[in-house]
Amino acid sequence: MSNSQWASRLGFILAAAGSAVGLGAIWKFPYVAGQNGGGAFLLLTFALIFSLGLCLLLVEMAIGRAAQRGALRAFAALGPRGWSLLGWWGVVGGFVLFSFYSVVGGWTLAYVLKAFDGSIVTTDGERLGAIFGAFTADPVHSVAALAAFVGLTLAVVLGGVQKGIEAASKVLMPLLFLLMLVLIVRGLTLPGAAQGLRSFLAPDFGALHAAVVIDALGLALFSLSTGIGAMLVYGSYVGPEIDLPRSAAWVVALTTLASVLGGLMVLPPVFALGMSPAQGPGLSYMVMPAVFAFLPAGQVFAVLFFVLLAVAALTSSISMLELVAASLGDRFGWRRGPVSIAVAVLVLLAGTPAALSFGIWNGWRIGGRTLFEAMDYLVSNIMLPLGGAGIALFACWVAWPQVRRALGAAEGAADGAGLRAVRIVAGIVAPAIILALWVANLRG
């Protein structure tokens, strides 16, 4: 699809924002914030989104636009061949990401069905925990749900309706935000919710040691879909008429909005129902149904919510399949259909043990983490930050002339203040911070 360009500026923003706004805001953000204890962690995460995150996103998009190639050929097109390794890093990261992300995507689809039959619309928190536990521990159901989500992603890409789905998100994303607002109001007015939230949000900056900061950085990059080349691939479809800094600013704004809404929606009812914010990956799926049950016509809200969440998840998983399949196709000259099918089959194989790690393979641990948690940690906390640092170094010190042009700078003119700031943050500050964090973390 290397010759396919977005027809309009809006098309690109919709695709990029569709990639960014997904399960990250609603599934991941609340429980990771819960595990790392509130206010200080949240402030740090948002600060990282607006500073390093924005700059890394920008230079990643710019490399794609400058190279007009997938992740595997983009680096060698703009610099020495050895940098292609970064492309492989991204493709492997995208593959692992797609595999565990689809497990959660599968939960979302399954919850659409559970919303339809009404079984999850109850205010009984314990019962909701048991429903989630029983579903994710059931090997047949959880793998079937995974397969359904991977299959749906593949069908969208093969069916050529990708742009249609992205265009639909112009309506569906605001609708999701609106629905979240209603749910926030209901959640915050539950007895005990507001007070629980207030004490949770009180910042404790003493708690910010290296591992926590890495979690915040990982969450920031995950939310923005930047660090492994997904935005590079999307950037490679961008024609000269599109203003990348403006598009990146939109992505950052929408991602931040979604994450704030996600946190405000999920955490207050957690306190109201006496659940633990550190519950783990199932948190949102255990608590949100209770909020629906507290609303009139709760079942309608439940169906709508999980359908919209599934669409948001899909516009993100499309970018993962795109990253892997388009980059491989572009590098090896493989046709788009067969390579997408092959990637989907392999993702299903790799995702299956991750799905089973909530049940029969739960005892199988890597450094104390289940396989699902280990895959998430590998991608979010290792591959995205280190990949992001590599991409930023490449953009600022190897391919800067092409990157600055892709960012809209005129040839021959000196870099303006904005460009200089991007180059300092992406080229020096971000890699230095990421390196320092990892050194501090490894030394314990």
Q: How far apart are CA 163 and CA 150, in angstroms?
A: 18
Closer to ligand PFF by Cβ: residue 22 or 263: 22
CB of 149 to ligand PFF, least distance (A): 13
Q: How is residue 437 written in tokens?
A: 């964090």
Q: Are 58 and 245 in contact (CB under 8 A)?
A: yes
Q: Looking at beta carbons only, is 59 or 131 nearer to ligand PFF?
A: 59
Closest separation in Å from C-beta 202 to ligand PFF? 26
Least distance (Å) between residue 380 CB and ligand PFF: 8
Q: How far is the CB of 29 from ligand PFF (least distance, A)?
A: 8
**Nearer of residues 290 and 383 to ligand PFF, judged by Cβ:** 383
List interacting residues with ligand PFF (CB under 6 A). Answer: 19-20, 22-25, 97, 222-223, 225, 228, 230, 316, 319-320
CB 36 within 8 A of CB 269: no
CB of 229 to ligand PFF, least distance (A): 7
Rank residues 316 and 327 by Cβ distance to ligand PFF and give the closer one.
Answer: 316
Alpha helices for 294-429 (secondary structure H): 298-332, 336-356, 371-377, 384-393, 400-406, 417-424
Compute the 3-state secondary structure of the chain and give helix, strand, coil in percent, each to the nearest 5.
80, 0, 20
Nearest to 381 by CA among 213, 208, 207, 206: 213
Q: Which one, 312 or 348, has the nearer CB to ligand PFF?
A: 312
Please report how close the Cβ of residue 286 comes to ligand PFF at its closest, in angstroms: 19
What is the closest distance, in whole angstroms, from the C-beta atom of residue 294 to ligand PFF in the complex? 27
Residues whose CB falls within 8 Å of the CB of residue 173, separated by 6 or more in sequence, listed in order: 17, 18, 21, 254, 312
CA 203 to chain centre: 25
Q: Between 52 and 121, whose beta carbon lies closer to ligand PFF?
A: 52
282, 301 in Cβ contact below 8 A?
no
Neighbours of 209 (CB within 10 A): 11
Give the Cα separation of 189 and 47 in Å (integer).
Answer: 29
CB of 156 to ligand PFF, least distance (A): 15
Q: Which of 152, 177, 150 is nearest to 165 (CA)?
A: 152
As a whole number of angstroms, the distance between CA 162 and CA 317 comes to 11
Are 5 and 235 in contact by the 8 Å Cβ rule? The answer is no
Of residues 107 and 222, the one with the C-beta less far from ligand PFF: 222
Residue with Cβ nearer ligand PFF (20 or 437): 20
Rank residues 251 and 272 by Cβ distance to ligand PFF and give the closer one: 251
Closest residue to ligand PFF, judged by C-beta, is 24
Is 59:224 a contact under the CB 8 Å cutoff? no
Q: Least distance in Å: CB of 388 to ligand PFF?
A: 10
